[in-house]
């Protein structure tokens, strides 16, 4: 990946001694590299869009599960109240096993949806977001490569066009306005790479901390519960 941090670096990348004849030979290669970088950028954009769709789907799913959990919880609480009234009223005529089975089934449904929502919010969605952030960083890298390659092509074309001047005046160094604009855009693109990578890194660190805490909670609330609360 070519990084242009100054005007001089553009010249250095292309080799200061590049003459018009060498530039003419270099141009097809530079153009091929530009086309390849464009293809890679399109692939990176497609991959990024796919990852973003997963992130968006997670958000939709979380809203659905939250709504479903609230509805099931309300149904369970209402059922519990009704069944309690029933057992109070019927005394010995109440089929306790059947009644408790109905309540248990509804409670199992609530627990299942709650657990699915918890897993989505704590594990799946954050992991998918990291993948998307990585894809954003890859897209930024691919875009930077396109701009850098375009700057190289433009510089080589400038050297070719300056052939008569170089032949007449000898060596001279010039960066045209188009090359300068591309150079500045490449610099901005490089900064976006750093930002995207930092965002992915921070998200990954936060995810790792959250998973460690989640595992610790799981250990305490399952295998070690008798030891925590006593027998």
Domain ranges, ordered by start, for the chain: 15-215
Identify the weakest region by mean pLDDT among 73-77, 144-148, 160-164, 186-190.
160-164
pTM score above 0.85? no
- Tell me what pLDDT residue 96 has: 82
pLDDT band per the 50, 70, 90 thresholds, residue 15: very low
Could you read off the pLDDT of 38-92 as tens digits, one per residue?
999 999 999 999 999 999 999 999 999 999 999 999 999 999 998 888 888 877 6
Residue 167 has pLDDT above 70, yes or no: no
Task: Find the distance separating the first CA and the last CA of the chain, reported in whole Å.
Answer: 63
Tell whether the model's pLDDT for residue 229 goes beyond 60: no
């Amino acid at each position: 990946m070519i990084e242009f941090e100054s005007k001089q670096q553009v010249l250095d990348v292309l080799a200061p001694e590049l003459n018009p004849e060498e530039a003419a030979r270099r141009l097809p290669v530079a153009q091929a590299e530009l086309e390849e970088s464009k293809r890679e950028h399109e692939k990176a954009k497609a991959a990024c869009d796919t990852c973003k769709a997963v992130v968006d789907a997670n958000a939709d799913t979380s809203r659905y599960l939250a709504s479903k959990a609230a509805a099931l919880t309300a149904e369970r609480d209402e059922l519990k109240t009704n069944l309690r009234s029933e057992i109070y009223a019927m005394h010995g005529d109440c089929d306790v096993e059947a009644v408790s089975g109905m309540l248990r089934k509804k409670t199992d449904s609530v627990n299942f949806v709650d657990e699915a929502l918890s897993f989505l919010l704590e594990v799946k969605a954050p992991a998918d977001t990291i993948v998307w952030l990585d894809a954003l960083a890859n897209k930024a890298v691919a875009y930077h490569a396109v701009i850098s390659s375009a700057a190289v092509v433009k510089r080589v074309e400038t050297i070719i066009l300056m052939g008569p001047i170089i032949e007449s005046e000898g060596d001279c160094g010039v960066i045209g306005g188009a090359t300068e604009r591309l150079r500045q855009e490449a610099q901005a693109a490089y900064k976006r790479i750093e930002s995207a990578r930092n965002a992915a890194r921070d998200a990954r660190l936060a995810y790792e901390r959250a998973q460690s805490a989640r595992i610790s909670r799981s250990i305490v609330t399952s295998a070690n519960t008798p030891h925590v609360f006593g027998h």
